[in-house]
């Protein structure tokens, strides 16, 4: 979908700190992170929410979600993490392209700045 920012990221037309990609999905750092390593996992194809994404593609996204969470856990060693998935504006969905959030949680929560953001992206990128 031309007007969708996540479709544009998936097509490489808008820059993002991409930490995982395969033929069906991509994952990239959230531009307004709630914690260090806050990552979004999306299908490349546009679906709005849990209600319209085909079950097979949902399974692919969940598989990527697990891989990316495992990588975050290994590289950043958070004390835990939340998986969130918002459906509908009233539930806090601001981008109408289906996505999961991975939000790492740390006992000692250091503030993040732009420099850390790039270091985090490098640590999490699968191009090592």
Under the criterion CB under 6 A, does residue 70 sit at the interface with ligand AMP?
A: no
Site string for Zn ion, 44-73 (x = CB under 5 A): --x---------------------------
10 Å CB burial of residue 90 (0-12, 13-18, 19+) is: exposed
Q: Which does 121 bind (CB under 5 to 8 A by kind): ligand AMP, Zn ion, none?
A: none
Can you tell me the distance from the alpha carbon of 125 to that of 44, in angstroms, rounded to the nearest whole number?
Answer: 18
Q: In the bound complex, what is the minimum distance in angstroms from residue 93's beta carbon to ligand AMP?
A: 4
Task: Give residue 97's region: left, alpha or beta (phi > 0; psi -120 to 50).
Answer: beta
Q: Which of 3, 94, 107, 113 binds ligand AMP (CB under 6 A)?
A: 94
Residue 84 near residue 69, CB atoms below 8 Å: no
User: Is 101 part of the annotated catalytic residue set?
Assistant: no
Q: What is the DSSP letter of 57?
A: H
Residue of 20, 99, 101, 109 with catalytic role: 99
Enumerate the active-site residues. Answer: 99
- List of residues contacting ligand AMP (CB under 6 A): 5, 16, 28, 30-32, 40, 86, 92-95
């Amino acid at each position: 979908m031309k007007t969708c920012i996540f479709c544009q990221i998936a097509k490489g037309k808008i820059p993002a700190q991409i930490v995982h990609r395969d033929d069906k999905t991509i994952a990239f750092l959230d531009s307004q992170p709630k914690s260090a390593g806050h990552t979004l996992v999306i299908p490349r194809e546009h679906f709005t929410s849990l209600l319209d994404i085909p079950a097979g593609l949902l399974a692919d996204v969940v598989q990527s979600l697990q891989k990316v969470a495992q990588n975050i856990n290994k590289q950043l060693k958070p004390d835990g993490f939340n998986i969130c998935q918002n459906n509908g504006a009233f539930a806090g969905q601001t981008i109408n392209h289906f996505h999961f959030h991975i939000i790492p949680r740390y006992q000692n929560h250091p503030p993040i700045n732009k420099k850390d953001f790039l270091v985090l992206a490098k640590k999490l990128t699968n191009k090592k």
